[in-house]
Chain A
């Protein structure tokens, strides 16, 4: 009996020494992050079109698009993001990348926001702002044939087409 009383804790000691230290020294050492970990997204302003495909697909509405007079703002709120990475899959310009950043603690909600500001290009005919300039630039690059009508707003384009049809059938407009 007496031998057992001493031997039982010793067995535990042996197990503990075999396992070694398991504690992660996190704030003073590297974090435990795997290859598949998804953190906050980052939007590359050089590639982003401002089309808003990410906004449509975002489940918790962490990405929001705001139309103002002269600019379009894509607002990313990290506080609501669930880090699913669907926006990165959907992005037609591959502007969104999923980073491994997870140290997002903030004492102010404003610090968790990220804005991408787009300039809106104006219609060549009526002068009304209608689409982000970056989107038009890249569409023209992919399909050069659109160059002659891409900078005209949809309303003016409709009028122009109707007019061309009318001329074709001999109407005087």
Chain B
């Protein structure tokens, strides 16, 4: 089965698992904010579950500290296919303020290289920048991951005329 067909079964009601990998808790609070009645992600069937084995989407925050790395790999391995990861916040996307620290791996892109070595495939990743990401941005990112709305940003190259 192709990924798109698999995603159709997930689309109606994506169950999310919240995975913190050494984040400062700002993004975690925003995730909880997105699930409250105020921003109400449950309109789209989003439900927070307590185990990665029940999850369709992993809400991933934090720059992946060294201490938490083996646990993160084990948690992601437990997620059933198709594995969808939403990397939330600057830390998870590009390392953030800890981009060159010795004690962190440096965000999800670096973790993905390590996961490949361990044979853990991630089917779809959606990067949601923001420090912390707004609840609306998290809802929007989830909709991009599931294919409800189109992605707005694309690579821009500006040339200076002089």
Q: Give the number of residues in A that approach B within 8 Å (Cβ atoms).
A: 45
Please classify how large the interface on chain B is, using the bins under 10, 10 to 19, 20 to 34, 35 or more: 35 or more
Mark A124-135 against chain B: 1 for CB-CB distance below 8 A, else 0: 000000001110
Q: Are B155 and A23 neighbours in the complex by a CB distance under 8 Å?
A: no
Residues of B within 8 A of A109 (CB): 93-94, 109, 127
Residues of B within 8 A of A24 (CB): 38-40, 136
Given that A60-B95, A102-B136, A118-B160 are known contacts, is A111 also in contact with B130, CB under 8 Å in the complex?
A: no
B116 within 8 A of A: no
Chain A interface, DSSP helix/strand/loop, else mixed: loop
B134 within 8 A of A: yes
Q: Are A115 and B99 neighbours in the complex by a CB distance under 8 Å?
A: no
Q: Are B127 and A27 neighbours in the complex by a CB distance under 8 Å?
A: no
Which of B96, B109, B130, B139 contacts A104 (CB under 8 A)? B130
Q: Which residue of A lies closest to B138 (CB)?
A: A105
Residues of B within 8 A of A80 (CB): 90, 93-96, 99, 129
Determine how close the nearest CB of chain B comes to the CB of A73; give it in whole angstroms.
9
Determine how close the nearest CB of chain A comes to the CB of B42; give it in whole angstroms.
10
Determine how close the nearest CB of chain A comes to the CB of B63; give it in whole angstroms.
10
Given that A23-B37, A23-B39 are known contacts, is A45 also in contact with B158, CB under 8 Å in the complex?
A: yes
Q: Which residue of B lies closest to A115 (CB)?
A: B157
Residue of A79, A107, A111 with highest tally of chain B CB at under 10 A: A79
Chain B interface, DSSP helix/strand/loop, else mixed: mixed
Residues of B within 8 A of A115 (CB): 155-158
Residues of B within 8 A of A158 (CB): none
Given that A80-B95, A102-B134, A104-B130 are known contacts, is A137 also in contact with B162, CB under 8 Å in the complex?
A: yes
A91 within 8 A of B: no
Residues of B within 8 A of A119 (CB): 160, 162
Determine how close the nearest CB of chain B comes to the CB of A92; give it in whole angstroms.
15
Mark A82-104 against chain B: 1 for CB-CB distance below 8 A, else 0: 11000000000000000000111
Determine how close the nearest CB of chain A comes to the CB of B93; give it in whole angstroms.
4
Q: Which residue of A lies closest to B96 (CB)?
A: A60
Q: Are A117 and B39 neighbours in the complex by a CB distance under 8 Å?
A: no
CA–CA, A113 to B128, complex, Å?
13
B137 within 8 A of A: yes
CA–CA, A62 to B130, complex, Å?
12
B141 within 8 A of A: yes
B149 within 8 A of A: yes
CA–CA, A77 to B90, complex, Å?
10
Q: Which residue of B lies closest to A22 (CB)?
A: B38
B143 within 8 A of A: yes
Q: Are A107 and B152 neighbours in the complex by a CB distance under 8 Å?
A: no
Q: List 17 A-B contacts (CB under 8 A).
A: A46-B160, A48-B160, A79-B94, A80-B95, A82-B97, A83-B130, A104-B128, A104-B137, A104-B152, A105-B127, A105-B137, A105-B144, A105-B151, A106-B144, A106-B151, A109-B94, A134-B162
By Cβ-Cβ distance, the 8 closest A-B pairs, closest first, are A80-B94, A105-B141, A79-B93, A82-B131, A79-B94, A45-B158, A133-B162, A114-B156
